[in-house]
Amino acid sequence: MRLPILFVSAALLPALSVGASWVSMGNGEDAEVFYAADGMQHFNGIATAWMRESFFQPQTAKKQGYQFDQVKVRRLFDCAEGTAGVMQAAMLSHGEQVDMLAFPYDLAKQTLQPVPANSFVQQVMNMACARPEAPFVRNGGPSGD
């Protein structure tokens, strides 16, 4: 029996983003930015990587109105095209998840956009795309905070 991709993605998010070996990339305008050293995968020109932003001030979700101080995002990269999108995202407040988004691979791939030059996202894309290629591991990624 094949589970829906959205369900599988949603079920994996907490396990993948918890316990990662987070490496600081420095401060952006509103947050300190990290990437998960053990959360990158690369196969057939497609790469994924986990990033985290820890905001200096609480942020408010525009439509929903909740506040969060951290976001963990699993990015999808097309290495040949230099484009990126979001596969999964979790918004947290004081370490507790307050919202989550998960997109099936096919939908995430359709929404890829050019990566801004000299951005944290470009740096992570370059690292993820430079990794040796290996088949994706279903539960691969960050394993603990």
- End-to-end alpha carbon distance in the chain: 32
Q: Which domains does the chain have, with CATH numbers?
A: 5-123 (2.40.128)
Q: Which helix (H) or strand (E) holds 117?
A: none
Q: For residue range 10-44, what is the model confidence (pLDDT) as tens digits?
A: 444 444 445 679 999 999 999 999 999 998 999 99
In terms of pTM, does the model score above 0.75? yes
Q: Are 9 and 103 in contact (CB under 8 A)?
A: yes
More confident residue, 135 or 17: 135
For the stretch 94-103, what's the b/e string if a residue is b when 16 or more beta carbons lie within 10 angstroms of its beta carbon?
Answer: eeebbebebb
DSSP labels for 44-60?
TTEEEEEEEEEEEEEEE
